[in-house]
Chain A
């Protein structure tokens, strides 16, 4: 058992500040447990979001000691005993109360990604895919929509005015997964450039660093999409496409 000093953000609207709570953490506890203990013993009105406590629902995103993390996957024994630990809401999004923010931005952006448009099925009416065809999209399907990548991305975190122009890493991998889908017929390169705003991403990889599902957002999603975009300007590719036939239809 260790006593920790927790500095938890409390507030609503434009008002708010960090408040200090001394909490005893039992062995094996995670930050979310400690937040619950504060709720149970000292601040019954402390607002936080959570569902699974297993790192799978993506609800408990917060910033622990300034790093975007899932509270339920951050063990207390990773901090030196007696340390002061700050817990803040994910600050790229508007505050609802305490640790709860409004992540609607992400739902708007989700709707804009051009959806899957299937090819016609095989002559027997069935669709077939091989494992090697779906390996790449499958990695992106691990996403739990915690939006930690969206929170940490400096493009919108530090430049609020860019929100309308930028989809963010979560939706770049969504688009990448669809673009690499073996049954899809839409080319999302022009979309991701002009609507998704992928050019604003300077591949500094913070999204990859914080992803609790360890998705290689930058290396396997964003960079391949930037390369697919570059295909449109590459004379070698242009020549090859003349012979082999073009790519898919622009979305």
Chain B
């Protein structure tokens, strides 16, 4: 028996376990022996992530109130349709109000980008594999499902393409920075535009900074920009860049949550201003 197990455990090159003296795990029946509130974290993640998904889907379905000049909601940027409420990118675009499904709003043409970026993010993977998949619900707490294949098969093997979604996410940072710059250009009373700063401008800048923090603290970014190097002393510039991104990378989970809140709250703020429920305060 021991020898057979040894052969199973042994690698494909034919080594067997030598000196293995036991074969059966400790007979402890309980799935775990933890006494702390290990369930608190997964429950919190389900509530917070769940609420965000519900809110963003609802907001994307609205197809209205995403433009409160000069503020554009991040869920609806860039403008992809001639019917867009805001015109910055709107000229010459096709009418994409999509006859196919009446409800489809341009937000759905946009959100797949940042959506896939977050879905395949190493940090969010950890969060939802634990909280939604329960594999494992917490450390040293037994997986709920019996069979397990990890990320070795379709569809989860596709997670390894996170890199591509990062390339896309960088483009979004450029677009959202552009929107934040435009948020200084307020419509002047007699037509034209006038420089100004409103609470919304600040909200949009905080949002884009947090999103950039999230995007550039990404593990794929850290790898692409320097982590792939084996001998750093022969690639000094990439070493410097890698070092910088490593320091950001240590804060990736914080950026992941803060930017999730900021993007939702920025949309909410602009929505409420556009609906006339709150008034945007002009600072300058």
A96 vs B15: C-alpha distance when bound (angstroms):
22
Contact of A132 among B12, B17, B25, B239 (CB under 8 A): B239
Contacts of B36 in A (CB 8 A): 65
Contacts of A15 in B (CB 8 A): 27
Alpha-carbon distance A181/B129, docked complex (angstroms): 32
Question: Which chain A positions have C-beta within 8 A of B151?
Answer: 199-202
Task: Decide: A158 and B143 in contact? CB cutoff 8 A.
Answer: yes
Binds A, one of B108-116, B200-208, B219-227, B267-275: B219-227
Q: A66-B35, A91-B26, A132-B233 are in contact. Are A227 and B11 (CB under 8 A)?
A: no
Closest to B133 in A: A202
How distant is the Cα of A206 from the Cα of B130 in the complex, in angstroms? 10
B17 near A104 with CB under 8 A, answer yes
Q: Does A25 contact B (CB under 8 A)?
A: no
We find that the number of chain B residues with CB closer than 8 angstroms to chain A is 62
Binary flags per residue of A179-203, CB closer than 8 Å to B gives 1, else 0:
1111010000000000101011111
Say yes or no: is A233 at the interface (Cβ < 8 Å to chain B): yes
- Give the shortest distance, in Å, between A69 (CB) and chain B (any CB): 10
B10 partner, pick from A16, A108, A129, beta carbons under 8 A: A108
Q: Are A111 and B223 touching (Cβ within 8 A)?
A: no
Are A203's CB and B125's CB within 8 A? yes
- Kindly specify which of B65-73, B157-165, B174-182 makes contact with the partner chain: B157-165
Bound Cα distance A44, B233 (Å): 56
A-binding segment of B53-61, B134-142, B256-264, B276-284: B134-142
Asked if A65 and B33 sit within 8 Å, CB to CB, the answer is yes
B266 CB to nearest A CB, Å: 29
Beta-carbon contact of B233 and A130 below 8 Å: yes
| Minimum CB distance partner of B144 in chain A | A158
Shortest A79–chain B CB gap in Å is 10
Which one of B135, B140, B239 lies within 8 Å of A68 (CB-CB)?
A: B140
* B88 located at the interface, meaning its Cβ lies under 8 Å from any Cβ of chain A in the complex: no
- Inter-chain contacts of B23 with A (CB < 8 A): 94
Chain A residues with Cβ below 8 Å from B152 are: 197, 199-200
Is there an interface contact between B233 and A224, defined as CB atoms closer than 8 Å?
A: no
Q: Does A159 contact B (CB under 8 A)?
A: yes
Query: Interface SS of chain A: helix, strand, loop or mixed?
Result: mixed
Count of inter-chain pairs, beta carbons less than 8 A: 190
Main secondary structure of the interface of B (DSSP, over half): loop
How many A residues have CB within 8 A of the partner chain?
Answer: 77
For residue B15, which residues in chain A have a CB less than 8 angstroms away from its CB? 108, 111-112
Cβ of A35 within 8 Å of any chain B Cβ, yes or no, is: no
B126 close to A179 (CB less than 8 A): no
Asked whether A209 is an interface residue with its Cβ less than 8 Å from the other chain, the reply is: yes
In residues 19-67 of chain A, which contact B (Cβ within 8 Å)?
63, 65-67
A201 to B25, CA, bound (A): 22
- By a CB distance below 8 angstroms, the chain B residues around A104 are 9, 17-21
Say if the beta carbon of B101 comes within 8 Å of chain A. no
Query: Cβ of B139 and Cβ of A102 under 8 Å apart?
Result: no
**A88 contacts the other chain (CB 8 A):** yes
Give Cα A248–Cα B36 distance, bound, in whole angstroms.
47
B11: chain A residues at CB < 8 Å are 108-109, 111-112, 195
The CA-CA distance from A176 to B28 in the complex, in Å, is 34
B30 CB, nearest partner CB in chain A, Å: 9
Check A133–B232 contact: CB distance below 8 A: yes
| B22, B125, B223: the one within 8 Å of A95 (CB) | B22
From residue A10, how far is it (CB to closest CB) to chain B in Å?
10
CB distance from A75 to the nearest CB of B (A): 16
| A115 part of interface (Cβ distance < 8 Å) | no
Partner of B163, one of A16, A162, A234: A234
Residue of chain A at shortest CB distance from B152: A199
A109 to chain B: which residues have CB within 8 Å?
11
- Is there an interface contact between B9 and A164, defined as CB atoms closer than 8 Å? yes
- Check A230/B20 contact, CB under 8 A, given A9-B28, A65-B33, A154-B143: no
16 sample A-B contacts, Cβ–Cβ < 8 Å, listed by A number = A65-B36, A66-B34, A68-B139, A88-B28, A108-B10, A132-B232, A133-B231, A154-B148, A200-B149, A202-B125, A202-B150, A202-B156, A227-B163, A227-B219, A230-B163, A237-B228
18 further interface pairs, Cβ-Cβ under 8 Å (given A86-B35, A237-B228)? A16-B27, A66-B141, A88-B28, A95-B22, A105-B17, A108-B11, A112-B11, A132-B232, A157-B140, A159-B147, A182-B230, A204-B126, A210-B139, A218-B126, A219-B219, A227-B227, A228-B228, A231-B228
The 4 tightest CB contacts between A and B, nearest first, are A66-B33, A66-B34, A206-B139, A94-B22
